[in-house]
Amino acid sequence: MTTGANHDIWLINLDEGTRARFTYGYTSDGMAWSADSKYLYFSTVAKPSRLIRKPVDGSAQETTILESAGIVHISDVSPDGRYMLVEEAYQRIPITTLVVSTTPGAAPHPITEYSGGGHQARFSPDGKWIVYSNAETGRYELYATSVERGGKQQLTSTGGAMSHWAADEKTIYYATREGAVFALPVTVTSTTIEAGKPHALFSVGGLVPIAFYNTSFDATPDGKRFLLNTTGERPDQSRAVLMTNWPAKLKK
C-alpha cells in the first residue's frame, strides 16, 4: 500500500496485522509483485521518473529498470519475470500501456494500436495473454491480446476495467466506473480466449474512478478478498459544514 504525503510504500502482513515501511521517497500509486514475491516493482514521480525493482527482504540494492522524462506507472510483471506492463504519457496520447523488458535499458512497445492507448493491463497466470481496458467504444471495456501474436478481442460489452485474473485462469475479476464488481468466466487455450457471461459479485459506493496514476481495485488470486479504494465519509469521521444565511434559519 502507499500512504502519507510522499506516497511511501508500506508492506502489510494480513495474518499478523503488522506493517513495515518499504520506500523513503515520492513514489507512484502503482506497484507490482514478482511471481515469487521476492521483488516489488514501483516507480518514482521525480524527473526523470524511474521504474525500480527492489528485493522485499532488503538483501540487495534496488535496480533501476527504466527511466522516463514523463511519469511512468507499473501495472504488472509477467510470471517469468521477463516483461512488465507500464503506463506512461506517450507523445500526445494521455495513457498508453507498454510492454517493457525487465532487462535495464530495453525499449518499450505499445500493446494496442488504438490512439487512446490501453490502461491497467494484466498478464494471464501463464503469461501468454494480456487483458487491458480502453474507451474506444465510448466507455471502458475489457480487451485481450496475445503476447506472442498480438491482435485484439473484446471481452465485455457493458463496461469493465481494472481487471485481475484468478490463479486458475478461469475467471477475470473487474469493476465498472459505477462501482459494480464482476466475475467473468473465461476459457483460455494457447491460441484462443473465450469470455462467458459475467455475473455481479457486489457493488461499492464511492469507488475511486479509473485514472492514470491510480490503483483503486485489487483481488486475491482465489477471489475471496478484494481491496478497493473508495471515497466518502465514515461514521467516525468528522466533517466541516458551511452554513449560509444562518440568521434567517434561527427565525424559523
pLDDT, tens only, 119-175 = 889 999 999 999 999 888 988 999 999 998 888 999 999 999 889 999 999 999 998
Tell me the percentage of the chain whose pLDDT exceeds 90. Answer: 28
**Does residue 49 sit in the same domain as residue 96?**
yes
Provide the strand spans (E) within 78-160: 83-90, 93-101, 109-110, 119-123, 129-134, 141-146, 150-154
**Does residue 82 sit in the same domain as residue 157?**
no
224 domain residue, yes or no: yes
pLDDT of residue 89: 66
The CATH number of residue 33's host domain is 2.120.10.30
**Does residue 153 sit in the same domain as residue 103?**
no
pLDDT of residue 239: 46
100 domain residue, yes or no: yes
**Does residue 1 sit in the same domain as residue 85?**
yes
Q: Please state, in angstroms and as integers, the Cα–Cα distance from residue 116 to each residue in 112, 119, 121, 123, following that order.
A: 9, 9, 14, 20
Bridge partners, 231 (sequence order)? none
119 domain residue, yes or no: no
From 66, 88, 110, the end of a domain falls on 110
The total domain count for the chain is: 2
Provide the strand spans (E) within 196-252: 199-203, 217-219, 226-228
Alpha-carbon distance 130 to 209, whole Å? 22
204 domain residue, yes or no: yes
Note the pTM of the prediction, 2 decimals: 0.79
**Does residue 86 sit in the same domain as residue 159?**
no
Alpha-carbon distance 114 to 137, whole Å? 11
187 domain residue, yes or no: yes
Mean residue pLDDT across the chain: 80
Domain that holds residue 30: 1-110
140 domain residue, yes or no: no
Query: Shortest CA distance to 54 belongs to which of 67, 42, 46, 66?
Result: 42
Signed CA dihedral, 9, 208, 32, 49: sign only: negative
Cell numbers that stand for 121 in this block: 493491463
Comparing 40-49, 53-62, 73-82, 91-100, the range with the smallest average pLDDT is: 91-100
156 domain residue, yes or no: yes
Q: Which residues contact 9 (CB under 8 A, 6 or more apart)?
A: 1, 2, 21, 22, 23, 27, 31, 40, 42
93 domain residue, yes or no: yes
Residue 195 has pLDDT above 80, yes or no: yes
**Does residue 101 sit in the same domain as residue 154?**
no
SS3 content of the chain, % helix, strand, coil (to 5): 0, 50, 50
**Does residue 4 sit in the same domain as residue 67?**
yes
pLDDT of residue 209: 53
Residue 248 has pLDDT above 80, yes or no: no
pLDDT of residue 183: 94
